[in-house]
Amino acid sequence: MAAERAPAAATPLRPDAHAVGFTRRLRDAGIDVAVGSTLLYVQALSLIDALSRQEIYWAGRATLVRDVDDVATYDHVFASYWGRDGGRDENLPVEPVAFDLAVEDPDADAAGPGEPPPDEREGRPTLVVRASDIEVLRHKDFAACTDSELAEAHRLMDDVRWAAALRRSRRLRPVGGNRRSTRPDVRATIRRSVRAGGELVAPSRRAPAAKPRPLVLLLDVSGSMDPYARALARFAHAAVSRRRRGRVEVFALGTRLTRLTRALSSRDPDEALRAAAAAAADWSGGTRLGAGLRTFNDDWGVRGLARGAVAVILSDGWDRGDPDQLAEQMARLRRVAHRVVWVNPLKATEGYEPLARGMAAALPYVDDFVEGHSLAALEALAARVGEP
């Protein structure tokens, strides 16, 4: 698209009015444009050169189009609305209807008695938008959620996209090309030659396949984790039931180690959480992270479950046991695991420092130290465990 300039006599750009009119045209054409994208487009139009048709185009393309299949529709609507010569379409009024954009805050106090209503200011209508409850809930701390909000957050965890980190397998798979990393497949080459009447054909080749790494979740269910334990257990259930590739194992860490994988295998999340609470007799009890990790390493981890796996520990780091023992077991886990991720819900607290004895002892052996207090933080965690 050429970067020509609109004529100097063109209608001055009104970011709010033009953005609303243009996004309405896009919606009419079948493109799903969120209210937040409209507000972002208004901000973009206020920052660019108002006479550059190219900048107007790319500002909308970057903020309003989320699906590559909608690009052609966007181009058509853009040419119709803004005009191919940089002006407006002749069928549209020269002065578009002006709107005031207002964000509604349900928690804000009512307007003062001397302030006129929004729809009476300068006789212009007001487009009132409000923040999405789901978007607010995604960033809300689990400890501050009501029972209904927690139930909604648990439901949204079913939509979390789980990625599996891949590792090189010993098995070989057929591949094309003649890369150095491949090796000749003599049997397949001969079979292709027989089908071709004995004629020499391009040789077949094989290369190592990729397989998903195991995922191990170690969930602290002690009393200090009560505000977060149920939400994190629901997150673990989503990992067991929704992750399509790779093995997933879940263990509860309290005064002892309890395997929860079988309890969380039910498709019904409520039934799974009840079974997990019944299996972990020390739920909401004390914490002995070092002893629990030693049991895991001796019985499960070093024997093979943690080898090459992504190990995720969900805990606030408060430990009544010996910190030296915890450090020793973290070092053992780190030697066999591909990556160790520690998820601490308290990390999001302003001014937080990992001063707890258990947390300080474990940090030197942790690859990623992340938050786990909200749905958005857990979504980021699900993406992080899929990183190579």
pLDDT per residue over 339-383, tens digit each? 999 999 999 988 888 888 899 999 999 999 999 999 999 999 998
At 191 the pLDDT is 84
> 183 with 302, same domain?
no
Q: How far is CA 330 from the centre of its chain?
A: 27
> 317 with 273, same domain?
yes
Report how far residue 338's alpha carbon sits from residue 214's, in angstroms, rounded to the nearest whole number: 10
The boundaries of the domain holding residue 196 are 168-211
> 224 with 370, same domain?
yes
On whether residue 298 sits in a domain, the answer given is yes
> 198 with 255, same domain?
no
On whether residue 140 sits in a domain, the answer given is no
Contacts (Cβ under 8 Å, ≥6 apart) of 302: 332, 336
Nearest partner of 162 among 382, 387, 384, 388, judged by Cα: 382
On whether residue 271 sits in a domain, the answer given is yes
At 5 the pLDDT is 40
> 345 with 269, same domain?
yes
> 285 with 361, same domain?
yes
On whether residue 38 sits in a domain, the answer given is yes
At 1 the pLDDT is 39
At 96 the pLDDT is 42
252 - beta bridge partners?
219, 258
On whether residue 184 sits in a domain, the answer given is yes
Using an 8 Å Cβ cutoff, are 189 and 177 in contact? no
Q: Which token pair is 148?
A: 């209904």
At 184 the pLDDT is 81
> 370 with 275, same domain?
yes
pLDDT in tens, 34-86: 878 888 888 888 887 666 778 888 888 888 988 877 888 888 888 888 764 44
> 256 with 371, same domain?
yes
> Domain tally for the chain?
3
> 74 with 204, same domain?
no
Residues of the chain with pLDDT under 50: 1-11, 84-98, 110-121
311-331 residues labelled b (16+ CB within 10 A) or e (exposed): bbbbbbbbbebbbebbbbbbe
> 191 with 301, same domain?
no
On whether residue 83 sits in a domain, the answer given is yes
DSSP H helices, the chain, are: 15-28, 35-47, 53-64, 71-82, 133-138, 147-156, 186-195, 226-242, 269-279, 289-296, 323-336, 357-362, 375-384
Burial of 157 (0-12, 13-18, 19+ CB in 10 A): buried
> 113 with 204, same domain?
no
Nearest partner of 288 among 312, 319, 314, judged by Cα: 319
> 172 with 218, same domain?
no
Mapping DSSP to helix (H, G, I), strand (E, B) and coil, where does residue 259 land? strand
